[in-house]
Amino acid sequence: MFILCLLRFLCTRAAIIPLLLLLLLSLPSCRPQLPSLTFDVFAVVIGRMIFFPPFSPKHYEPSFRVGSGTGKANTTATAQCDVDVTIESDGDVSQLNSCSKLDGTINIKKGVSQILFPTGLSSISGDLVIDGATGLTSFTAPGLKTISGSFKLNGLTVLSTLACPELVSVGDISWSTLPALQTLSFTKKVSKANTVLITDTLLTSLEGINLVTAERFNINNNRYLRSVDVAIGNVTDVLIIEANGKGVNASFPNLKWANNITIRDAGDVYFPVLEEVRSSAAFVNNTFTTVEFPELTEVGESLAFVSCSRLTTIKANSLEEVGGTFQLANNTKLAVIDGFEKLAVVGGAVDLSGVFTK
């Protein structure tokens, strides 16, 4: 029995082995070595192994395929551009060298100091996130044109250079706590983003961001920001400009409608083509003297001017309806209310607080 198992084991390795054994056993000198089996029986067993081998050739097919220039090496290179990438040191950027498009998210961690993306990288289908990299001084992406997800920068206390000269489209912008960032190097300007939040930076202007439309546009607590001049056409949720540099100029020359508008601490506002505010508009603690809305016809809910200490003139002579509260309160220099010639309907309360002569 042992001899049969051994022979069967050998036969599974190569069909030639049982053939050699059969030839060997045909010699008379070899027959006495098998006292417990007759030669005829043994010959039948060996013959069966030869003509009906116990293995199939498919078990020994190679598990790889050799191609002509499109083999494993290229497949691996492609896979590197189809995954999330984590960068923990400046040198880790080399992971992106073979990518023109990254189908994933890039997370840049603590430990980096200067990040320079390869020029060939033009798009990121996921997010670009740099969070808490307190040693990062410079971020440059010379060829990057689109970020489909969020462009998130947070807690980058020494970042002074932010250069994306080709960037034009971003899913969402969320920048917070960038106390060393004074300017943007966005030569072609970002014209498309769903939401924008920029807070706690040293930016003096938003040059480089020039949206056409947005869902939310929130610029707050940038204490050196002197100008917000954006060619945005509509804002479907909220437009907020507040707690920036004292006397900031808020200019929206192309804005036709918005859902909500809140402007605080502004020295001047400019809405030459604004036609409709679908919810509410509030102007609080501003220092402008005159505000005009030549094309505004309707405010869906409330309209308020509160604590604008230098305000003397409000002109909205096309305004016909305010759906909610109409409030003029604590504007200490506003003595004459004569800029609402067509206002016929106020759906809520009328709150006029101050000393008025007309």
Would you state the structure tokens that stand for residue 142, as one six-digit string?
A: 């010379």
The kind and range of the H/E element at 225 are none
**Please, which pLDDT band fits residue 56 given cuts at 50, 70 and 90?**
very low
Range of the domain at 32: 2-60
What average pLDDT does the segment 273-277 reach? 98
pTM: 0.78
**pLDDT beyond 80 at 284:** yes
**pLDDT beyond 60 at 40:** no
Would you state the structure tokens that stand for residue 305, as one six-digit string?
A: 């001017």
Could you read off the pLDDT of 227-236 as tens digits, one per residue? 999 999 999 9
What average pLDDT does the segment 232-252 reach? 96
**What secondary structure does DSSP assign to 230-296, as a single string?**
----EEEEEEEEES-STTEEEE-TT--EEEEEEEESEEEEE-TT--EESS-EEEES---SEEE-TT-
- Confidence (pLDDT) at 2: 46
28 within some domain: yes
18 within some domain: yes
23 within some domain: yes
284 within some domain: no
Nearest partner of 297 among 337, 342, 252, 232, judged by Cα: 342
- Confidence (pLDDT) at 38: 45
Stronger pLDDT, 354 or 159, i.e. the higher one: 159
19 within some domain: yes
- Confidence (pLDDT) at 29: 54
- Confidence (pLDDT) at 48: 52
- Confidence (pLDDT) at 354: 87
Report CA 331 to chain centroid distance, whole Å.
Answer: 42
Query: How far, in Å, are 24, 49, 163, 175 from residue 138 at the CA level?
Result: 80, 73, 8, 15
Number of domains in the chain: 1
Could you read off the pLDDT of 99-126 as tens digits, one per residue? 999 999 999 999 999 999 999 999 999 9
- Confidence (pLDDT) at 80: 82
45 within some domain: yes
107 vs 84: CA distance, rounded Å:
8
What average pLDDT does the segment 234-243 reach? 97
What average pLDDT does the segment 163-182 reach? 98
Q: Which amino acid is at 246?
A: K
- Confidence (pLDDT) at 358: 73
Burial class (CB in 10 A: 0-12, 13-18, 19+), 58: exposed
Could you read off the pLDDT of 195-215 as tens digits, one per residue? 999 999 999 999 999 999 999
